[in-house]
């Protein structure tokens, strides 16, 4: 997803250490208004590869069979094909979530309180919600993918979760959701309370706080925002954006996160290859958008990372084109920018190709310039480099090439009209991940970025007519490693000869015979 070019500025309480296998799923107690966690827990001796559940997907221990929906999201009991008993979300263990919260506590100033609310449910109509997607910071710290909760973290109070009050009417329509028992037993909160108790408890928790950190994006719809204690802190300039800290934590991916992002990238690559093959027979923007979404979900993705950009012909010159409603004409290029989400982690890649299977000479020379810029900028990816340095390098390359092709005269303003985007952005739980961090920041091992040079020439412009109405972008995901980099989208063809071979596989015509 093309990045806008922005100038960005750049003795501790610990929750109890728990056995990652201790996932006690206890039934909610209507009479219990809160619970505090006990360190005693049971452990399973079965590995995720030898459980009876894998032999019989309907199997659950008798004591747990009626508890599969207690948590309101996948668990190792309800989804043994996805999760091990150690996981809170697929691939991410309880211990990793605890480590994340400890890391945040280590960074917060002494006496601070962090409050992070879940994302709100957005409605399409009065009774029809849009598909829910959790706020990345709330998910990163809690592992809870459900709406309605609020997490509070401090050295004094530990990790507290306020969970939605049970509503029998809503359960009939929407299904079971996590309550206070699930907050402690599954999400490993130190304390848990019904959301209705926020009015009474949060003012006490904020008393004496030297600073309050929260997520402004989710605050307005959360009940804590209207509390007098919070509003008083806000009026006294004690409230700050917690993203200053969480974006730093999320910037460097753990080995578990990298595994998920590799898989997400692999799903996107495989799906786009199938869509590319499909484009020869069905050169239609809407059909290609539907095809890539189908392929991603068939391979395990929960949703698309964003509405696919499928720009045929001149539509490819609109950077974030989203209508996807036009038939692609013979001889035109199509630009597809797509990504999918796998258990909270996103992929993002772009390819441009001719569905007909052949480039005309002008398309090929402009495509070659973008491809060379992509390859050279990928080579620059290593610890210590920065996105800003790569961007500046790409601008020099593209300006030189566009001048040689006669597309621009050489003025910087002319270049920015044809490419107002950055060479890339950070990628992770959000498409533009860790957005508060400066692109001047020296890259470190574990950071994942995109490299996506492009040119977007509108139908009416001062460029030679043969180039007008042409949009080309080539985007890859790159993981920074100790020794350099790893291209996570390397399996997706981008060389002209490879694209020709792929597109003409089903035609029975050798690639060498294609002009």
Instruction: Kindly report the CATH number assigned to the domain that includes residue 376.
Output: 3.90.230.10
Whether 14 is in a domain gets the answer no
Q: Is the pLDDT of residue 37 over 60?
A: no
Whether 37 is in a domain gets the answer no
Specify the pLDDT at position 47.
37
Specify the pLDDT at position 13.
34
Q: What percent of the chain has pLDDT over 90?
A: 77
- Confidence band for 50, pLDDT divided at 50, 70 and 90: very low
Specify the pLDDT at position 297.
98
Task: Name the more confident of 140 and 510.
Answer: 140
Interatomic CA distance for residues 240 and 497, integer angstroms? 52
Q: What is the pLDDT of residues 299-317, one digit of tens each?
A: 999 999 999 999 999 999 9
| Among 493, 497, 448, CA closest to 474 | 493
- Confidence band for 248, pLDDT divided at 50, 70 and 90: very high
Give the range of the structural domain holding residue 264, as residue numbers without chain letter: 252-513
Kindly state the helix (H) or strand (E) to which residue 114 belongs, with its residue range. strand 112-117
Same domain, 321 and 296: yes
Q: What are phi and psi of 252, to 5 degrees?
A: -95, 120
Whether 484 is in a domain gets the answer yes
Q: What is the pLDDT of residues 169-214, one digit of tens each?
A: 888 888 888 999 999 999 999 999 999 999 999 999 999 899 999 9
Specify the pLDDT at position 60.
43
Whether 374 is in a domain gets the answer yes
- Confidence band for 411, pLDDT divided at 50, 70 and 90: confident
Specify the pLDDT at position 303.
97
Interatomic CA distance for residues 284 and 310, integer angstroms? 9
Interatomic CA distance for residues 173 and 18, integer angstroms? 35
Interatomic CA distance for residues 189 and 142, integer angstroms? 8
Whether 478 is in a domain gets the answer yes
Same domain, 193 and 334: no
Same domain, 96 and 133: yes
Same domain, 230 and 317: no
Whether 203 is in a domain gets the answer yes
Q: Is the pLDDT of residue 48 over 80?
A: no
Lowest model confidence (mean pLDDT) among 14-23, 366-375, 391-400: 14-23
Domain termination residue (choose one: 197, 219, 250):
250
Interatomic CA distance for residues 16 and 168, integer angstroms? 33
- Confidence band for 243, pLDDT divided at 50, 70 and 90: very high
Overall average pLDDT of the 66-80 stretch: 80
Pairing of strands 211-214, 239-241: parallel
Same domain, 222 and 272: no
Specify the pLDDT at position 505.
81
Q: What are phi and psi of 444, to 5 degrees?
A: -130, 160
Q: What is the pLDDT of residues 213-228, one digit of tens each?
A: 999 999 988 999 999 9
Pairing of strands 334-338, 340-342: unpaired
Same domain, 193 and 299: no
pTM of the model: 0.86
Q: Is the pLDDT of residue 435 over 50?
A: yes
Same domain, 387 and 484: yes
Instruction: Kindly report the CATH number assigned to the domain that includes residue 220.
Output: 3.40.350.10
Same domain, 345 and 217: no
Lowest model confidence (mean pLDDT) among 7-16, 277-286, 385-394, 493-502: 7-16
Number of domain units in the chain: 2
Q: Is the pLDDT of residue 167 over 90?
A: no
Same domain, 225 and 259: no
Whether 58 is in a domain gets the answer yes
Specify the pLDDT at position 82.
94
Domain termination residue (choose one: 250, 280, 308):
250
Same domain, 136 and 217: yes
| Among 306, 311, 312, CA closest to 338 | 306
Task: Name the more confident of 54 and 196.
Answer: 196
Domain termination residue (choose one: 192, 224, 250):
250
Q: What are phi and psi of 423, to 5 degrees?
A: -65, -20
Same domain, 65 and 204: yes
Contact 15, 157 (CB under 8 A): no
- Confidence band for 511, pLDDT divided at 50, 70 and 90: very low
Q: Is the pLDDT of residue 404 over 50?
A: yes
Give the distance, in angstroms, between the CA of residue 108 and the centroid of all CA atoms in the same chain. 25
Q: What is the pLDDT of residues 323-366, one digit of tens each?
A: 999 999 999 999 999 999 999 999 999 999 999 999 999 999 99
Task: Please state, rounded to an integer, the average pLDDT across all residues of the chain.
Answer: 87
* Residue owning tokens 């509390």: 227
Contact 335, 1 (CB under 8 A): no
Same domain, 55 and 95: yes
Whether 150 is in a domain gets the answer yes
- Confidence band for 239, pLDDT divided at 50, 70 and 90: very high
Specify the pLDDT at position 58.
40
């Amino acid at each position: 997803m093309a990045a806008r070019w922005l100038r960005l500025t750049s003795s501790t309480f610990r929750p109890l250490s728990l056995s990652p296998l201790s996932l006690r799923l206890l039934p909610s107690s209507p009479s219990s208004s809160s619970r505090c966690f006990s360190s005693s827990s049971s452990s399973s001796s079965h590995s995720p590869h030898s459980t009876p559940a894998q032999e019989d997907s309907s199997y659950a221990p008798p004591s747990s069979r009626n508890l599969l929906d207690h948590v309101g999201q996948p668990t190792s009991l309800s989804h043994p094909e996805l999760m091990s008993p150690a996981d809170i979300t697929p691939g991410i263990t309880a211990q990793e979530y605890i480590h994340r919260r400890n890391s945040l506590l280590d960074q917060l100033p002494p006496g601070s309180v962090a409050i992070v609310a879940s994302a709100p449910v957005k409605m399409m109509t009065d009774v029809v919600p849009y598909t829910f997607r959790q706020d990345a910071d709330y998910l990163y710290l809690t592992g809870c993918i459900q709406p309605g909760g609020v997490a509070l973290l401090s050295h004094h109070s530990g990790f507290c979760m306020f969970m939605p009050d049970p509503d029998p009417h809503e359960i009939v329509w929407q299904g079971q959701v996590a309550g206070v028992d699930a907050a402690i037993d599954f999400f490993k909160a130190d304390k848990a309370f019904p959301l209705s108790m926020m009015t009474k408890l949060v003012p006490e928790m904020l008393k004496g706080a030297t600073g309050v950190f929260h997520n402004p994006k989710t605050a307005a719809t959360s009940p804590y925002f209207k509390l007098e204690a919070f509003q008083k802190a806000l009026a006294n300039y004690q409230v700050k954006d917690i993203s200053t800290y969480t974006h730093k934590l999320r910037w460097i991916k753990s080995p578990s996160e990298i595994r998920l992002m590799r898989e997400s990238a692999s799903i996107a690559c495989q799906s786009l290859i199938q869509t590319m093959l499909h484009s020869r027979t069905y050169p239609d923007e809407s059909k290609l958008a539907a095809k890539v979404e189908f392929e991603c979900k068939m391979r395990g993705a929960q949703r698309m990372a964003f509405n696919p950009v499928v720009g045929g012909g001149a539509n490819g010159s609109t950077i974030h084109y989203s209508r996807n409603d036009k038939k692609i004409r013979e001889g035109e290029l199509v630009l597809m920018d797509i990504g999918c989400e796998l258990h909270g982690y996103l992929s993002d890649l772009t390819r441009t190709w001719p569905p007909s299977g052949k480039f005309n000479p002008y398309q090929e020379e402009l495509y070659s310039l973008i491809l060379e810029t992509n390859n050279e900028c990928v080579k620059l990816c290593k610890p210590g480099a920065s996105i800003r340095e790569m961007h500046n390098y790409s601008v020099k390359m593209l300006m030189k090439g566009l001048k040689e092709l006669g597309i621009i005269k050489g003025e910087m303003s002319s270049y920015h009209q044809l490419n107002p985007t950055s060479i890339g952005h950070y990628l992770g739980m959000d498409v533009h991940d860790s957005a508060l961090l400066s692109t001047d920041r020296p890259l470190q091992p574990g950071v994942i970025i995109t490299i996506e040079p492009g040119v977007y020439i509108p139908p009416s412009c001062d460029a030679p007519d043969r180039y007008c109405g042409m949009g080309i972008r080539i985007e890859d995901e790159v993981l920074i490693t100790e020794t350099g980099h790893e291209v996570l989208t390397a399996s997706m063809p981008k060389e002209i000869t490879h694209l020709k071979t792929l597109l003409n596989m089903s035609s029975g015509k050798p690639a060498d015979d294609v002009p």
